Structures are given as structure tokens and as C-alpha cells.
Structure 1
């Protein structure tokens, strides 16, 4: 016992080296449901563009409401998480997207719908950096990467479930609202119960009392270049391919595109967990972004040789979704590992907000794109991620099997 909130630093060693405890398991369940809702509600933006009271002229505003609110939520709540604690933030964000969910389910006009999406995504945007920080700080070192990948992969399942429910209910807005409302309500109740039972992050309690550790400028620049580049690639390609392309280019296929891409992403998360048991983080990152880049380039011969084959197009989209999740997994792991505890959540928020700002601009920038232009733009985004992954493979540090403190003591 000592002055650090009544906790001894020795507890961090037991967290890093021990098995997953009951409290850690409750935390995994709670934040997994949070990620499920994150994916579910993110998918609602494109899916609700087909609701009868949404005019075509307002589709762009429905789509942009989610990333705008996510960006603001990341930056606002990310700061609160570092200052007031992870558990406090979890309860705040739960309340925010709980109210947002009610507005969506009971919306009768475009303005209530947009307000509900925005409020829900504000809360979930704030929960993103908090979730990554909490899991990285509280999970055993030998399971940290696997837990981060497994938990965040639940977001893809949430989006796939939303798309499946939209397909099952057809064009019935009221039926969709009932299915969406029941799914969201059950998840919110379980989350409230489990979040009341989980502890605050021990690492945050201890290190909030210590002077901020410094990163030398060269380390910080390299980390930010890598993380922002990876985030731009994954945030934009997922959003543009899974969420935006349907309403813009294939309106009647929107639920199928959301479903197919997210099934691919879900499968990619399972593959990623098995890969992490065999290779290191730097290798995993390079393979993921190389695969995403190559599968995106594969759309070019498909367009040239069999441009009217919907099956070939959707198959490539599915395969790219697998690598999209692998790239997501690599980024999810590196974000909390490369920032010190005292500003881990805010650091993650800044990285993500950088990508979301470009995503918001891209929604309007790509609105008049042809399919060929759309795919070439996404290929360029994957190229950026591959270059960043290659730089990290050459110049970065390996983070696997190291404590968060050891990683931030590295000089490279």
C-alpha cells in the first residue's frame, strides 16, 4: 500500500503476468457490448437512409452526422478519461448513447433521426479511446493483443447484425425500429450492470499521481506518423466501402454491402487472433496492410475484364474486408501501446480524430465519383497504410510481450 490511491505498483505486475480474473472478464463483457453497439449504431446511418421520411437531399447529412459526432466525442471524452478515470467515462458514455438510441428508435422525422445518431455516436466516439486504454492497462501482458483484437472485432458483428435485421424487416420502418430497439435495449441493460461491477483501471489510479513522463520528439513524431497514417487508411476505407458506397452507388444493395463487408471483417478478427499467437506485432502490421493494398488493387483487373460481374465485385469486397479487420487490429493494438498512461486516452483520440476529419471531407469529396474513381481513391488510401506499416517494420519497436512502461522507455 502507498500514496498512489491506496494501491501498490506491484499490482501492475500481477495484472501483466496473471490470468484473466473475474473483474477483467466482466470488463471484457461490458466493453465488448459497447463495441457491438458502436458497430450497430454506425451501420444505422447508411441503413436509415432508406427510411421513408429521409429525403434524398438529406442522405449526405445523415451519413456525415456519425463521423462528426464521433470526432467531437473522441476529443472531448478522451480528455475526460485521462483526467477523471476510465470507469467514470464508461458510465458517462453509456448514458449519452442510451439517450441517442431512444431518439433513433422513436424518430418520426429526419431531424430527430440525425440528432439521435449524432448523440449516440458522440458517446460511442468518446468510448473508443477509453475502451482501448482500459483494456491495454488492465489485461495480462500475454493476452493483451488477443483481447484488444477480439473485443474490438465485436463492432463488426454489431454492424453485420444491424444489416441482417434491416434485410429481414425489409422496408418496414416501424418493424426495423422494433428490432433495433429490442437489440439495443438488452445490450444497454447488461452493460449498465457489468460496468457498475468493474474496477477502475489500476494503472490509471497509480500513474495519475506521478509527473508526466516525456517522449523525445523524434519518438513522438514517428509514432504519430505511423498511427495517423494507419488510422486514415482503416477509418476511410471501412467507412467508404462498407457505409458510404452503398447509398451513393448501390442504394438497393446497401444492406447487403454492409452485411458482406462486416462478415469479412468479423472473419478477419478471428484470423487475426490466431495470427497473433504465431507472429510479432510488426510482422502482423506489415502483412495486414500489404494484403489490404493488394486486394484493393485487384479491383482494377476486375473492372477492366469483367466490369458487370456483381459476384466478383462483392467477393473482392468481402476479401478486402478480411484484411480491413487485420489492419484495424494492428492499429487497435499500437494506439494504446504507444502512448503513456497519463495521456493515453487523449493520444488515441487525437489520432482517431485526425482520420475522422478526413473521412468527413471524403463523404462530400467522393459524392460525385464514378465507381472506378471510388475504387482508385481507396487503393491510394491502402497504399498510404502500407507505406506506414513498412516504415514501422523497419524503424519501429516490437511491442509484444512488453509492459506498457517498457514500451514507452524504448528509444528508437
Structure 2
């Protein structure tokens, strides 16, 4: 998670590394989500077919190549090339983390464990901001080397951690039960029988087979799940990017590092909500987050004359908005990975992320010629789309939080009740 946020933010910082025509600024900003969704599209289905752990190693290797190359990039072309490699890897990395977190953790901890993992996105943004800000008074090669070097250090830490992380037992049991038992005995010698027993008990209450797309799409609420999760995910992707990564660098280019720092600090602080991940209602938390983001976006529209010429006021609004964006973000990311059956969890989570981030890419080009008033109005509309998704799920969806078993959240068990 930390790696994806770091790589995504580097695209914004990189606008100051080379001299480029203003007409190409949107291309550089779109470069990040474009390669993220390519990584997502590749890794999702592969994680369902080859396993969660193997994808971790593939994405880490690619991320390391990108980070190292970025540190030595001199021209615009090389910067784009190594950013693409980093983003391809980080898009796949995050998708795999989302699904693995739910599958590896027991019901009483999976909500807060997944939210905590998503919260590392905020830490990744903060790390980038600190790295960029601390080197901003040096030469461009110095800042480039610092940003690339920190990214490589992140990879080294992740490699160490991944080597001590087991394969998802839920996924592995569906592929090879005997191998799942061996994996459990290796990583959980004192809990192996209990963990395998819990999986077997849940399978005995399974609603139906879920090994094919036709079977999966026949489960209850699949259309509602896809619509609501995509709408909320789009609100997050486009809403967060429009203010923090587009409005900021475009209209306050000299404040790019400070904007990233303010957004990162707000997100880290609000990330403490992960502690309630298995206690509070997921539906209500989602609704709260999107109501707040829509309300603050409306305030930003109505007060643009107050903040547009004052950098400190703009930074304050960025901080408050990102505080609530992060609440919506970590809750929605947790939600969109828990609602799908295990056999297709990677693919369906990737589909939601691919559509939502792909739509965000479109908004970058659609909005590049809008006036500031039109642009902010569009941002408000984006958050209203997310609010509509949260409202629909609150009214017609099931409760997936509060310590609910993953099988209930995904619809794989017969206990799927409102």
C-alpha cells in the first residue's frame, strides 16, 4: 500500500524535474493512473490463478527496477518509462494486498487489518512528501536521487516482510487442500488445525459452487455490489486526485510539496479509524465518509473567492478534505475486496478498480480546459456519485463489517442476510 501511494505521488512531483510544455502536463498526471490500471488488470486475474504470494514477488521485483531506474533518469522519456514500471507494479501490489488481508486474518481482526494496510497508502504519501520537501532546496538530480532511493528502500523492506507471509489458505484450499494444510502447518504450527477447520466449516455452509464466472454472477446482490463499489471507488479516485494532484500543482505549482505534505498528514491522522474496523458498521462509515466529502466539496465551491488567492487557506481546506477522504477511502477499499467469492476475489476487485480509476483518467482530459469554477463543480459532482453508491448500499446492501465472517460478506455462505 505504501508503495502504490509513493509511486502515484511521484508523478506529480516529477512535473518539476524537467521542462515540459504546459499542454503535456495532463499527460504526465494521467501517466500514473493509466499504468496503475494496467497493473491492476494484469495482477487481478493472475492472483486468482497463480496465487497471492507469487504476485507479491513479481510486483516487488518490478517496483525495485522502476525505483532504481528513476534515481538515475535524466530526460523526460526515461522518467516516464521508470514511472510506468513502478506504477505497473504498485497497482498490482495493492490489489493483491486488499484481497490477501481479508483472507489471511480471522473475522474479529480482518476489518482492522485491511484498514491498517490501506492506511499505509497515507504513510506512503507522507513519506514522498517528506522526501520531496527535504530535498526541494537542492538540485533536481538530488531530489530525483532522494525520491528514487527512498522508493528502493521501501522495496527492500517489503521483500523482507513478504518472505515471512504465508499464501492465502482460503485460496490455496480451493486449489489444493493438501498443500493448504502443509502451508498452515509451516506458518501456523500451533493453529494449523483450527485454521483449516474454520475453512472447511465455512465450505459446508456454502450457498453454491463459485469456481466459475457464471456461478459467481448468480449469487445474491452481485449487480448491486458491482454498481455501488464502482461508484464509491470512482468518487475516491477522481475526487482525491482532482484537488490534491491536479488543482494543487496546476494552480499552486510552487506549493506541490506542501500540498502533498498537508494531504499526507491529514490522511495519517484520520487513518486511526482502522482501530474500529471490526466494531463499527461498514455501511454507516461509508455513508459518513461520502457525506462529509460531498459537503466539504460544496463548501470549496461556494468559497473559492476566499481561498483561491490565499495559499494557507487552500492548504487548510486540503487538510480537512483529505481527513475525510481517507475515512471514506480506507473503508471503501476494505469493502470492495470483501464482497466477492474467494475464487474470483482478485479479478472482481481488479475490475472495480480498473473501471473507477479508468474513469478518473478520462476526467483528467475532460476537465483540463475548464475554468476554476467549472472544475470545482465537477469535483463536487464526482463526490456525489460516490455518495449515491454509499447511499444505495446503505439502503439495500448487507452489513459486511462489525466482525462479520468473510463468507457472509462475500455471499459464499447461507448466512447472507440483511
- Number of aligned residue pairs: give it: 377
Deviation string 1:217-276 (CA, Å, 9 cap, x unpaired) is 661110001100001000111112111222322211111112212221222211x22443
Q: Is the 8 A contact 1:54 1:109 kept in 2?
A: no
Q: 1:90 and 1:150 mapped to 2: Cα distance?
A: 18
Which of 404, 407, 412 is 2:406 aligned to? 404
Mean alpha-carbon deviation: is it higher for 253-262 or for 221-230? 253-262
TM-superposed CA distance for 1:196, in Å, is 2.1
Q: Is the 8 A contact 1:276 1:284 kept in 2?
A: no
Deviation string 1:61-97 (CA, Å, 9 cap, x unpaired) is 2212111111111011111100000000000111111
TM-superposed CA distance for 1:286, in Å, is 0.9
Q: Is the 8 A contact 1:299 1:313 kept in 2?
A: no
Where does residue 36 of structure 2 map in the other structure?
70
1:99-138 to 2 correspondences below 5 Å? 99-138=65-104
Where does residue 367 of structure 1 map in the other structure?
368
Unaligned runs of 5+ in 2: 177-208
Which of 254, 257, 276 is 1:255 aligned to? 257
Mean alpha-carbon deviation: is it higher for 367-376 or for 39-48? 367-376
Unaligned runs of 5+ in 1: 1-34
Determine whether 1:189 maps to 2:156.
yes
Where does residue 315 of structure 1 map in the other structure?
316
Where does residue 356 of structure 2 map in the other structure?
355
Q: 1:251 and 1:307 mapped to 2: Cα distance?
A: 13
Where does residue 182 of structure 2 map in the other structure?
none
1:279-298 to 2 correspondences below 5 Å? 279-298=280-299
TM-superposed CA distance for 1:310, in Å, is 3.2
Q: 1:331 and 1:306 mapped to 2: Cα distance?
A: 29
Residue 106 of structure 2 aligns to a residue whose secondary structure is coil
Q: 2:27 and 2:309 mapped to 1: Cα distance?
A: 30
Where does residue 205 of structure 1 map in the other structure?
172
Where does residue 226 of structure 1 map in the other structure?
228
Q: 1:136 and 1:149 mapped to 2: Cα distance?
A: 10
Deviation string 1:144-176 (CA, Å, 9 cap, x unpaired) is 111111111111121122122222212521211
Q: Is the 8 A contact 1:78 1:130 kept in 2?
A: yes
Where does residue 147 of structure 1 map in the other structure?
113
Q: 2:307 and 2:14 mapped to 1: Cα distance?
A: 32
TM-superposed CA distance for 1:208, in Å, is 3.2
Q: Is the 8 A contact 1:282 1:393 kept in 2?
A: yes
Q: 1:83 and 1:411 mapped to 2: Cα distance?
A: 30
Which of 131, 137, 144 is 1:177 aligned to? 144
Mean alpha-carbon deviation: is it higher for 127-136 or for 171-180? 171-180
Structure 1 pair 55–306 and aligned structure 2 pair: CA distance change class (3 A): closer
Q: Is the 8 A contact 1:248 1:367 kept in 2?
A: no
Q: 1:277 and 1:344 mapped to 2: Cα distance?
A: 20
